[in-house]
Amino acid sequence: MTISEQTDAEVATALKAAMRRMPGAVALITTHDPVTGAPAGLAASAVIPVSMEPASMLVSVNRAASAHAAIERAGRYCINLLGIEHTALVGLFSNSALRTERFAGAEWQVRDGLPYLPQACAAIFCTVRETLVFGTHELFVGTVDAVHAGEGSDPLGWIEGGYARLGPL
């Protein structure tokens, strides 16, 4: 079979397998929902810098995620880049049944209305400037308003369906 003969299902399966091999930083995307008055967030590895002029970041959020509507309504989000000591938080932010516990255990602080984790490797505060709905996800491009450099340990990564320590060779 040639590459051009792959069915959509085969492409999807092959892409999932390929993406398991692509390491990504693990982050918690947090916001404050102006309608409910509560913090909201999700774990993500689909986070990328867009540009330095203007300083901007992109997060890809599944539209079925509980935090999606909160990010839309708030128009702002914080990218908390996690360290290897934060794996338990990823579990909380990845499990919708634990939604009410997400902001209870860690030492969260608030800056300009957004919850952030000062112990994270970095907290990047963004204002949404552009969005793009594509398939099951919405891409939120935000300009960076502020960056808090934390004192976290080595950055936490995700590869092959598991955690990894990210660092220079």
Looking at residue 5, what is its pLDDT?
87
14 domain-assigned: no
96 domain-assigned: yes
**What is the pLDDT confidence band of residue 4, given thresholds at 50, 70 and 90?**
confident
Q: What is the mean pLDDT of residues 67-88?
A: 96
3-class SS string, 74-92? HCEEEEEECEHHHHHHHHH
Q: Which pair of tokens denotes residue 31?
A: 């916001």
**What is the pLDDT confidence band of residue 152, given thresholds at 50, 70 and 90?**
low
Residue 1, pLDDT above cutoff 60: no
Domain count, the chain: 1
Q: Using CA atoms, how far apart are residues 11 and 84, in angstroms rounded to an integer?
A: 33
41 domain-assigned: yes
Per-residue pLDDT of 117-148, as tens digits, reads 999 999 999 999 999 999 999 999 999 999 99
Residue 43, pLDDT above cutoff 70: yes
60 domain-assigned: yes
Q: What is the mean pLDDT of residues 38-46?
A: 94
Q: What is the mean pLDDT of residues 30-56?
A: 96
- Structural domain containing residue 41: 24-105+120-158
Looking at residue 135, what is its pLDDT?
95
Q: What is the mean pLDDT of residues 84-103?
A: 90
Q: What is the mean pLDDT of residues 64-88?
A: 96
Per-residue pLDDT of 45-60, as tens digits, reads 899 999 999 999 999 9
163 domain-assigned: no
Q: What is the mean pLDDT of the chain?
A: 93
Residue with tokens 């909160």: 70
Residue 62, pLDDT above cutoff 60: yes
Q: Which pair of tokens denotes residue 58?
A: 């992109």
82 domain-assigned: yes
| Beta-strand relationship, 114-116 and 47-52 | unpaired
Give me the CATH number covering residue 42.
2.30.110.10
Query: Using an 8 Å Cβ cutoff, are 53 and 123 in contact?
Result: no
150 domain-assigned: yes
Residue 115 preceded by cis peptide, ω within 30: no
Q: What's the gap between Cα 118 and its chain centre?
A: 16
